[in-house]
Amino acid sequence: HGSLLSGDAIGGHTSTMNERIIKAGGIVHARTATPEFSCAGYTWSKRWGVTRNPWNPDFTPGGSSGGSAATLASGTSSIATGSDIAGSIRIPASACGLVGFKPPYGRNPDEPPFNLDFYCHTGPLARNVGDAILLQNVMAGPSPLDIATLRPKLRLPLDYKPIKGWKIAFSMDLGSFEVDPDVRKNTLAACDVFRSLGATVEEVDLGWGDEVL
């Protein structure tokens, strides 16, 4: 848990998520760092010190699954696991240029009491979408130890149908947030790619201004 309060405690059992990864042939070669009790958007603790972003050590890899993101971005792992309540998979993935997926509630098993929290999910991180899908398909599925898991198991396809004819709406600023010029540029470039593949892409106003927030 990234805390001095935990002492040298070792878990009494292997989580369902890791059991499935090992059974599928995965090699668990490292345990990565998190902020104390996973409660931060950066990765630092008195127990483990500072985890830095491999792309630029002056920056954070995000959190709370920042250790997973750092090992992926540095090339020392090909896939990694994370947990997400308020962005703990998605923030590190964004900060380190990775793919992070927070599955819908009930798709991946979790351990009590976290499995009863509608916001707490386990999920994959990877350097590309294909690897993230492979890991998600290993992690997913019902478990007798988690009453929240859903049946049947949902497997994500590795190949998708063409998006020609799709209608895609996007908000650049979610209604009220400042957007970095590079983020704006890259988002518009992605929209152009979708249009080139036959989709209709339109920017929408969500109406989530300061008066709403």
Q: Establish if 100 belongs to a structural domain.
A: yes
Q: Are residues 165 and 134 in the same domain?
A: no
Contact present, 160 and 166 (Cβ < 8 Å): no
Distance CA 77, CA 40 (A): 23
Q: How confident is the model at residue 46 (pLDDT cuts 50, 70, 90)?
A: very high
Q: For residue 170, what are the β-bridge partners?
A: 203
Across the range 191-212, mean pLDDT stands at 91
Q: Are residues 128 and 174 in the same domain?
A: no
Across the range 194-203, mean pLDDT stands at 98
Q: Are residues 182 and 122 in the same domain?
A: no
Distance CA 70, CA 152 (A): 34
> DSSP readout, 46-115?
TTTEE--BTTBTTS---SSTHHHHHHHHTTS-SEEEEEESSSTTHHHHHHHT-EE--PPTTSS---TTGG
Give the global pTM: 0.86
Structural domain that includes position 88: 4-139
Mean pLDDT of the chain: 93
Residue predicted with more confidence, 113 or 212: 113
Q: Are residues 15 and 83 in the same domain?
A: yes
